[in-house]
Chain A
C-alpha cells in the first residue's frame, strides 16, 4: 500500500500544482475576464522563489511570500491598462504578457540563467506542503465565492449591463480578479520551484497556458469544484492513456473536444446543476403529494 502510494507521489504533486494553476485561471474566468496570464504569473512566482533561495540564500518561506506578493502586484499592474478590454482582446493582451515574461526569462541571462533555467534548487516543499497550499486556496475561493465579491463576479460574467445597473463596479472587480489570479499563480510557481529541483523558461509557455485553460473549461467555471475536477482529470488522463503511446495527445484532444461539445458548462457545473434539478423535482412532487393528501 505504501509503495503504491509512493510511486504515485509525483503524480499527486503534479495534480495539486495543476489545481493551483486552475484556481488562478478560474478566478478570472468567473469574473468574466478572459485572461490567459496565469502562465506568466506562475513563471514570475517560480523565478522569484528560485532566485531568493539560490542567489540570496534566504529561507524558502520568504520566497513563497515574495512570489505571492509579486504575482499579485503584476496582476494589479496588468489590470489597469487592460480595464477597457474585453473578451478576445483581453486574451490577446494577456497572451502578450506571457510572451514578454517568457522572453525575459530566456534573455535576462544574468538573473535567470537563460534557457538553461535555474538548477539545484533545494527541495523544501513536498506533497504535504502542496496539500496545505491547495487547502488554503480552496478555502479562500469558497469564502470569496459566497461573499459580495463572488456575487458581483457572477453578475458581471453573465451580463455587464445588469451589473452596472445594480451599481456593481466592473473595473474594481476585474482588478480584484487579476490580483487574485496573479497571487495564486505566483504561489503555484513558487511551490513548483521548491518541489522540482529545477525550472526552465519553456515550462511556462504556450503549453501551460492551453492546458490550464482546458482544465477550467473542462471542469467548470462557476463552482469551486470545477478547477479541482478539471485539474485532476487532465493530470491523470495522460497516465491512463499511456497504452495509446504516440496517439496519446490525439486521444486527449478528442476527449476534450467531445466534453466541450456535450458538457459546455464543464463536468462539475453540469453534475451540480443536474443534482439540484433532481432535488427540486423531488421537493415539488413531495409538496404536491401533501396537497393532494
Chain B
C-alpha cells in the first residue's frame, strides 16, 4: 500500500512554466481526481510522475521512497502504471499480445532460457496468456483476443490500454483521460472497474476532462489551471468553488 505525494512540483518548457509548484497526494485505495481545462498541465504532471519528463523543481515521493530522479523503466518496475491520453497500442499485434506485454515486470524467466527457447520460457508465455485471458473476460473482450488491436473501435482500444496497465498489477495507476470519447454507459462500466481496482488497495490518480465522471468517482479532487492548483477538496466543495467555475466556464 503506497501513496503518491507531489511536493512543490514544477516543470518549465523553455523558461515558460507548464506546471508551477503543485502539491498533491494520492493515497492507496482511493481514487484521486486531477482536473483542469485544456493546457492546464495535467499530462505534464503525469509525464513527470512516470519519469518521461525531468522535473524542474520539487519532489515526487512514492511510499517511503523519493523517486524524483528515477527513470521511466525503474518507475514501472516498482509498480507505477499508466494509460495514455492518445491511445498507444501495438496495432499489428493481437489484443492478447498487447495485454501480455503488460506483464513484463512480473516475468521471471532468465535471459538464457528465453534465448534458447527452454521449456520454462514457453511455460511462462502460456501462463501469461492465461492470465491475460482472465483480464479479457473481466472486460468482456474474450471473443476479440486474436484480433489485431489496430482494427478495433476506440472504446475497445481504450479497454486494451486499461488491461495492459492492470496486467502490471500496479500500486499506483495513472489514468490519463480514460473515458474521453466514450458514451455514458461505456464510462459507467469502466467506473465500476476503477472502483474495484481501488478497493484492492491501489492508489488511482484520474486525470479527466469529463466533470460529471470525476465528480461521481473521486474521493478528493485537485483542480489545475495554467499550471497552478486553484482548488482542492471533496467533489461537492470543488463543484461549488467560484474559481473552478470561472476556470471552466470563463469569467
Show the binding face of A for B, using Cβ within 8 Å: 139-140, 142-144, 146-149, 151-152, 154-155, 158-159, 161-162, 164-170, 176, 222, 265, 273, 276-277, 280, 287
Among the interface residues B52, B92, B143, which one has the most CB atoms of the partner chain A within 10 A? Answer: B92
B residues whose Cβ falls under 8 Å from a Cβ of A:
50-52, 71-73, 76-77, 81-82, 84, 88-93, 97, 100-102, 104-105, 107, 109, 111, 113-117, 121-122, 124-125, 143, 146-148, 164, 168
| A155 adjacent to B115 (CB under 8 Å) | no
Tell me whether A151 and B97 are in contact in the complex, defined as CB-CB below 8 angstroms, given that A164-B73, A176-B111 are known contacts: yes
Q: Could you say which residues of chain B place their CB within 8 Å of the CB of A158?
A: 90-93
CB of B88 within 8 A of CB of A162, answer yes
Q: Is there an interface contact between B143 and A287, defined as CB atoms closer than 8 Å? A: yes
Say whether A167 contacts B114, CB under 8 Å.
Answer: no
**Bound CA–CA A277/B84 (angstroms):** 27
Residues of A within 8 A of B93 (CB): 154, 158
Q: How far is the CB of B123 from chain A (nearest CB, A)?
A: 11
Listed from nearest, the 10 A-B pairs whose CB atoms lie closest are: A143-B117, A167-B76, A164-B72, A147-B114, A167-B105, A167-B77, A158-B90, A147-B121, A149-B114, A148-B107
* Complex-state Cα separation, A147 to B50, whole angstroms: 26
Complex contact B168–A273 (CB within 8 A): no
Contact check, A146 vs B88: say whether CB atoms are below 8 A apart: no
For residue A151, which residues in chain B have a CB less than 8 angstroms away from its CB? 97, 100-101, 104
Given A161-B88, A166-B164: A146 in contact with B102 (beta carbons within 8 A): no
Indicate whether A165 sits within 8 Å of B50 (C-beta atoms), given known contacts A148-B109, A151-B100: yes
| Contacting residues, chain B, for A166 (C-beta < 8 A) | 76, 101-102, 104-105, 164, 168
New A-B pairs, 10, CB < 8 Å, besides A147-B121, A273-B92 = A146-B117, A146-B122, A151-B97, A155-B90, A158-B91, A158-B93, A159-B90, A165-B81, A166-B104, A280-B146
Q: How far is the CA of A91 from the CA of B36 in the complex (A)?
A: 43
When the two chains form the complex, which single residue of A140, A149, A167, A287 contacts B168, counting CB atoms closer than 8 Å? Answer: A167
Contact B52 A140 (CB under 8 A): no
CB-contact partner of A149 in B84, B111, B148, under 8 A: B111
Contacts of A154 in B (CB 8 A): 90, 93, 97, 101
Contact status B125-A146, CB under 8 Å = yes
Nearest Cβ on chain B to A27's Cβ, whole angstroms = 11
Given contacts A140-B117, A166-B105, contact A147 B143 (CB under 8 A): no
Contact A144 B82 (CB under 8 A): no
| Contact flag A168-B115 (CB < 8 Å), given A148-B109, A161-B88 | no
Instruction: Tell me if B104 and A148 are in contact (CB < 8 A).
Output: yes
- A170 to chain B: closest residue by CB: B73
Most buried by B among A142, A148, A170: A148
Question: Complex Cα distance A155/B50, Å?
Answer: 18
What chain A residues lie within 8 Å of B92 (beta carbons)? Answer: 158, 222, 265, 273
Contacts of A155 in B (CB 8 A): 90, 101, 104
Q: Whole-angstrom distance from the CB of B102 to the nearest CB of chain A?
A: 6
A–B Cβ pairs within 8 angstroms, 15 of them: A143-B114, A143-B117, A143-B121, A154-B90, A155-B90, A155-B101, A158-B91, A161-B88, A164-B51, A164-B72, A168-B104, A170-B73, A176-B115, A273-B92, A273-B148
Measured between beta carbons, the chain B residues less than 8 angstroms from A273 are 92, 148
Contact A143–B116 (Cβ < 8 Å): yes
Nearest B residue to A287 via CB reads B143
Task: Determine whether the beta carbon of B73 is less than 8 Å from that of A144.
Answer: no
- Is the CB–CB distance between B125 and A147 below 8 Å? yes
- Which residues of A are found within 8 Å of B107, using beta-carbon distances? 148
Q: How far is the CB of B184 from chain A (nearest CB, A)?
A: 27
CB distance from B132 to the nearest CB of A (A): 12
Q: How far is the CA of A255 from the CA of B77 in the complex (A)?
A: 46
Which residues in A have their C-beta under 8 angstroms from that of B124? 148
In the bound complex, what is the Cα–Cα distance between A289 and B84 (angstroms)? 37
Chain B residue numbers with a CB within 8 Å of A170 are 73
